[in-house]
Amino acid sequence: MSAVYDASSSPNNTNANPSVAKKLKALIVDDDAIVRMIHKALLRKFDVETHEVKNGQEAVLAHRSGAYFDLILMDLDMPVMNGRQATKELRDMHVCSLIAGVTSLGDEENKSFIDAGLDYYYQKPLTVDAVRNLVDKIKGSSQSC
Partner 1 sequence: MEIVAKLQKQFMEFISALYREGFLDDQFLQLQKLQDESNPDFVFEVVSLFFEDSEKLINNLAAALQQPVVDFKQVDSHVHQFKGSSSSIGAQRVKNACMAFKSFCEEKKIEGCMQCLQHVKHEYFLVKNKLETLLRLEQQILAAGGRIPDLS
Shortest Cβ distance from residue 66 to partner 1 (Å)? 29
Bridge partners of 103? 123
Span 56-85, contacts to partner 1 by CB under 8 A? 77
Say which DSSP state 26 is in: E
Binding residues for partner 1, total number by CB under 8 A: 16
Nearer to partner 1, 77 or 119 (CB): 77
Residues 10-39 that bind partner 1 (CB under 8 A): 32-35, 37-38
Residue 27 φ/ψ region, left for φ over 0, alpha for ψ in the -120 to 50 degree band, beta for the rest: beta
145 is a site residue for partner 1 (CB under 8 A) = no
Task: Kindly give the pairing relationship between strand 120-123 and strand 98-103.
Answer: parallel
**Separation between Cα atoms, residue 23 and residue 26, nearest integer Å:** 10
Q: Which of 23, 44, 64, 132 binds partner 1 (CB under 8 A)?
A: 44
Comparing CB distances to partner 1, the nearer of 42 and 67 is: 42
128 binds partner 1 (CB under 8 A): yes
Sign of torsion, CA 109 112 117 120?
positive
Q: Which is nearer to partner 1, 6 or 109 (CB)?
A: 109
Of the candidates 25, 32, 20, the residue with the CA atom closest to the CA atom of residue 5 = 25
Report how far residue 95's alpha carbon sits from residue 93's, in angstroms, rounded to the nearest whole number: 6
Q: Residues 87-126: x/- map of binding to partner 1 (CB under 8 A)?
A: -----------------x-------------------xx-
Stated length of the chain: 145
Binding-site ranges for partner 1 (CB under 8 A): 32-35, 37-38, 41-42, 44-45, 77, 104, 124-125, 127-128
